[in-house]
Amino acid sequence: MQFCHICGNDIFPALLRCPYCGSDQDSIEGDISATKVFKQKTVNLEQGLPTVEQALQRLQREISTARLEQIRILTLIHGYGSSGKGGAIRIACRKNLEYLCHRGEIKEFIPGEEFSRRQGSTKQLLSRFPQLSEHSHLNRANKGITLVVVF
């Protein structure tokens, strides 16, 4: 076995692409300490009080940039809205992420309220990216964030 150089999971040496995070693999087995590192970034979509359209445009730019910079996890801060029913940016952002996931432009996303060790999707994410167990929003049921797994 060898380790994925992005997410650190065990993979068969013959694989050219990691089945967990989707990253391309070298045929040379790397140092274990280096393999456990992956890039993540936090993006505040609310910054500057944008319109919904502006926030969605920024979301698309950030996903494209993340792909180019090999960032695997984006933590989106979209807020929950002051009405208590969920803000317009949050709703539009998640609908857009569903669409992007369906089209294969992102691997998956996890709403902040489901980012808990008890959730199956989070358990799978933590097995692929163990460093996320240190994420400040884990187990906080934060409806104002969403985690995006980028290819």
| Residues 112, 146 contacting (CB under 8 angstroms) | yes
Shared domain check, 118 and 134:
yes
Instruction: Tell me which of 12 and 90 has the higher pLDDT.
Output: 90
Beta-carbon count within 10 A of 29 CB: 13
Q: How far is CA 53 from CA 7, 21, 49, in A?
A: 33, 30, 11
The pLDDT confidence band at residue 25, using thresholds 50, 70 and 90, is confident
Shared domain check, 63 and 81:
yes
Mean pLDDT of all residues in 112-123: 94
Total structural domains within the chain: 2
**How far, rounded to the nearest angstrom, does the alpha carbon of residue 80 sit from its chain's CA centroid?**
19
CATH number, domain containing residue 128:
3.30.1370.110
pLDDT attached to residue 33: 39
Mean pLDDT of all residues in 56-83: 93
Structural domain including 31 reads: 1-36
54 has pLDDT over 70: yes
Percent of the chain past pLDDT 90, that is, above it, reads 66
Shared domain check, 69 and 21:
no
Find tokens 């669409």 and name the residue. Answer: 99
Residue 148 three-state SS: strand
Shared domain check, 73 and 130:
yes
